[in-house]
Amino acid sequence: MGLYLLDYGAGNVRSLANTIKKLGYEFEWISSPADFLKATSLIFPGVGAFGTAIEGLESRGLLEPLREYIASGKPYFGICIGMQVLFQSSSESPSTKGLGLIPCSIDEFDNADKSVPHMGWNSVEFLDLADKTHEGIDESSHYYFVHSYRARYDWTDADAAQWVHTTTQYGQEVFVASVRKGNVFGTQFHPEKSGDAGLRLLNAWLSSPENSRTAAPPSPPLARPPRAQDGLTKRIVACMDVRSNDDGDLVVTKGDQYDVREKPAATPAPADPSSGQQASTAGAVRNLGKPVALAARYYAAGADELCLMNITSFRHSPLQDQPMLAVVRAAAEEVFVPLTIGGGIKDSVDPDGTPRPALEVAGAYFRAGADKVSIATEAVFAVEQMRARASDGGLCHGDGTSAIETIAKAYGRQAVVVSVDPRRVYVEPGYDGPYKDELVYGKPDGAEAERSKAWWYQCTVKGGRENRPLSVVQLARGVEKLGAGEILLNSIDRDGTGLGFDIDLVNLVRRNVRIPVVASSGAGKAQHFVEVFQQTGVEAALAAGIFHREEVGIPEVKDALVGANIKARR
């Protein structure tokens, strides 16, 4: 079988390649127009932005051959942007035309009632098919979506509706989850990132892509009005801070309030090795395991997403020789859920003087198998610069040069996470200085140390080592404006304490932006996840220490969520 994959040069296509290999299939990459003639089946794993995809295909002379391939009747499977290019156009890039097979346009989600991008695991449903596992899709499973633009399901438009295979709902919007007609199949979600459910779907298509499995479209098309609630689940994220230890090995480590070195024991260990007792490890970098092995463990345990944070000095390694790239490559062979990589995503210069713009650094990680990059220090500087340009010190537009803007333009905003490292700054009652409008007051029934206090949240850079004159609210609003697609909200005060998420901080940020927010730092038990979802509107919650030390398992967290009527993927 001549299975080919189409790569227009942007985004994570490695994950699909890894999935296909894992399923035992061989494939080739389309590298020239002539390859379309050799292909007997084709997958286009489009990642990124609509305009970039079409322009990328055009500039490589692949757009017309793609159109001809599809018209020839040979099997085609488009994923995400690979499905969207089948439509006429997208408001993401109004001057760019799609292939126009499906006679309607793609538009942006309305963020009045929900966070946009739509990011996470949602259910799908067939319109009226009796076969509820058609194309390997299963209505009882969840699939991973990540996009800001969607094809609304309009049953009054019969020409477009005849393509619709499954629908899904986000907020009150019902949109197309998959299309199926003749030789063409497409999914808005990412099967290669949808765990076992996605593997089953891909396997079903790969085992017989040439089969005409088109079910007769309902005629007239069926109505699918929105229901009271959508099927999006809350995401549980496992985070691994990776650095080299004092022996030069890459390890997953974990800090207490960002200090990753072992503390001296209360009773020092004896220095005499003949005593049979272990020598003191005080001062050593905590070693909680190997990154790829831990990533595989969390995938198997049901993590909805994984983060790898590069917190070591090798962030300054030359890009070609960046150890973290090897970690991402190896992890992407083991895990089939989204992978975020952070640390060192910024403009840099290799030791030989070669400049490496942040866009190139991010591109290397996407090609290695990352789905999102996370930016911390550079995001703070970018917002500071944006505010300095605004005449009133408030928000203006970016100048297009920041890492957030350049990466979001090429890969779509959903690929850009901003990781925030705020720290509380306590002030006296009656404080009347800067950030007074953002003050949080300790509650009478709150922790004793906080009861009579007020505080604001200050941004830091370089892993909390340097405080900056910027509040977390200013940062959150600023990065949203610059084009970030998600906020990963840490708390230096809560990191590693097990006291629970900082609910005040999470609420403060959640109500100031419309993009998804991941609550992080402080989880000590499963109930803390229930609390953060019940008391704030966040889309996801992240933990590190309790998972690494196996104090709480991911299934236990999911059970607690379901027990509290919070949607979770299991």
Any idea which residues carry the catalytic annotation?
80, 190, 192, 241, 421
| Amino acid residing at 34 | A
Which of 169, 188, 374, 536 is the binder for ligand 1PR (CB under 6 A)? 374
Minimum distance of ligand 1PR from residue 374's CB (angstroms): 6
Distance CA 105, CA 91 (A): 8
Which range binds ligand 1PR by CB under 6 A, 196-204, 342-350, 407-415, 438-446? 342-350
Q: Which distant-in-sequence residues (6+ apart) come within 8 Å of 228 by Cβ?
A: none
| Amino acid residing at 541 | A
For ligand 1PR, which is the closer residue by CB, 19 or 253? 253
Site map for ligand 1PR, 289-328, x if CB under 6 A? --------------------x-x-----------------
For residues 124 and 167, the answer to whether their CB atoms sit within 8 Å is yes
For ligand 1PR, which is the closer residue by CB, 202 or 362? 362
Q: Which stretches of 33-161 are DSSP H helices?
A: 35-38, 50-59, 63-71, 81-84, 158-161
Subset of 414-443 contacting ligand 1PR (CB under 6 A) = 419, 421
Which range binds ligand 1PR by CB under 6 A, 6-14, 116-124, 153-161, 368-376? 368-376
Minimum distance of ligand 1PR from residue 117's CB (angstroms): 20
Does residue 500 touch ligand 1PR according to CB under 6 A? Answer: no
Does residue 505 touch ligand 1PR according to CB under 6 A? Answer: no
Site map for ligand 1PR, 380-419, x if CB under 6 A? ---------------------------------------x
Which range binds ligand 1PR by CB under 6 A, 2-10, 155-163, 517-525, 562-570? 517-525
Distance CA 176, CA 189 (A): 10
Residue 357's alpha-carbon distances to 310, 321, 344, 401, in angstroms, are: 18, 16, 11, 10
Does residue 376 touch ligand 1PR according to CB under 6 A? Answer: yes
Strand partners, 164: 179
Q: Which residue's Cβ has the minimum distance to ligand 1PR?
A: 463
Query: How many H-runs (helices) and E-runs (strands) does the chain carry?
Result: 17, 28
- Asked if the peptide bond before residue 469 counts as cis, ω within 30 degrees of 0, the response is no
Minimum distance of ligand 1PR from residue 379's CB (angstroms): 7
Distance CA 103, CA 461 (A): 48
For residues 124 and 57, the answer to whether their CB atoms sit within 8 Å is no
For ligand 1PR, which is the closer residue by CB, 222 or 319? 319
Does residue 16 touch ligand 1PR according to CB under 6 A? Answer: no
Which range binds ligand 1PR by CB under 6 A, 188-196, 293-301, 370-378, 437-445? 370-378
Which range binds ligand 1PR by CB under 6 A, 27-35, 46-54, 282-290, 341-349? 341-349
For residues 335 and 370, the answer to whether their CB atoms sit within 8 Å is no
- Asked if the peptide bond before residue 220 counts as cis, ω within 30 degrees of 0, the response is yes
- The length of the chain in residues reads 570
For ligand 1PR, which is the closer residue by CB, 291 or 342? 342
For residues 295 and 335, the answer to whether their CB atoms sit within 8 Å is yes
Q: What angle do CA 533, 537, 542 make, to 5 degrees?
A: 50
Does residue 46 touch ligand 1PR according to CB under 6 A? Answer: no
> Token pair of 216, please?
């007769």
Does residue 377 touch ligand 1PR according to CB under 6 A? Answer: yes
Distance CA 160, CA 185 (A): 14
Does residue 460 touch ligand 1PR according to CB under 6 A? Answer: no
Which of 13, 93, 545, 561 is the binder for ligand 1PR (CB under 6 A)? 545
Does residue 569 touch ligand 1PR according to CB under 6 A? Answer: no
Which range binds ligand 1PR by CB under 6 A, 56-64, 220-228, 328-336, 490-498? 490-498
DSSP state of 105: E
For residues 47 and 414, the answer to whether their CB atoms sit within 8 Å is no
Does residue 496 touch ligand 1PR according to CB under 6 A? Answer: yes
Which of 241, 305, 486, 504 is the binder for ligand 1PR (CB under 6 A)? 241
Distance CA 230, CA 145 (A): 13
Distance CA 480, CA 515 (A): 7
Give the SS3 label for residue 361: helix
Does residue 522 touch ligand 1PR according to CB under 6 A? Answer: yes
Binding residues for ligand 1PR (CB under 6 A): 239, 241, 254-255, 258, 260, 309, 311, 342-345, 374-378, 419, 421, 463, 490, 495-496, 520-523, 542-545
